[in-house]
Amino acid sequence: FPALNAGLGGDRTDHLLWRLDNGMLNQLRPKLIVLLIGTNDLTLGRPPALVAEGIRTILLQLQKRWPQASILLEGLWPRDDRPDLRQKAEEVNALIARCAGGAVTYADFSKALLDPSGQLLAAAYQSDKLHLGRGGYEKISPAIAEKIQQLRGQLLGPKTTRGFSMNPERRPALAAAIC
């Protein structure tokens, strides 16, 4: 699949909703959407339930706009830049994990960024303990790529003479019904 990264530095759920509401991504016709958003909402001081609600609203918008697309919803990655935010990220993850079902697949890749005792892998993060460094991307990318390949296999139906057709069994269900 060709890929587009539509994320922006410092992005929050309300920013992405604004872009969706104002047609910023209308020209796209995605087959698979990978969604990772919410950690900057926590930095702003928003409570986990509000962040999760923002993510749920985004899922509804995505499914309304692109009903043919599958969505890989990533759990927030662990962070230790502020003592309270790691636990809050875990709370968001527990809430958004409930959104899995239909076209939405939830995956938490946090373990790739933690040592066996549950501490951040120092080599995975930049000195701010929030942003991944090269080592972090090297750790997490294989897990994400594996999940994308798995979803891609579910998404694609039998080969046709013109390429692939969508698997009719992968039709989406609205996120409101599942989280």
Q: Mean pLDDT across the stretch 35-44?
A: 97
| 66-76 confidence digits (pLDDT tens) | 999 999 999 99
| pLDDT beyond 60 at 173 | no
| 121-160 confidence digits (pLDDT tens) | 999 999 999 999 999 999 999 999 999 999 988 876 554 3
Contact (CB, 8 A) for 71 and 35:
yes
Average pLDDT, the chain: 87
Q: Mean pLDDT across the stretch 73-98?
A: 96
- The predicted model scores a pTM of 0.85
Q: Which residues, other chains included, contact 56 with Cβ-Cβ below 8 Å and sequence gap of 6+? A: 96, 99, 175, 176, 179
HEC profile of 23-46: CCCCCCCCCEEEECCCHHHHHCCC
| pLDDT beyond 50 at 178 | no
**Could you give the CA distance from residue 58 to residue 20 in angstroms, rounded to a whole number?**
8
**Could you give the CA distance from residue 26 to residue 48 in angstroms, rounded to a whole number?**
29
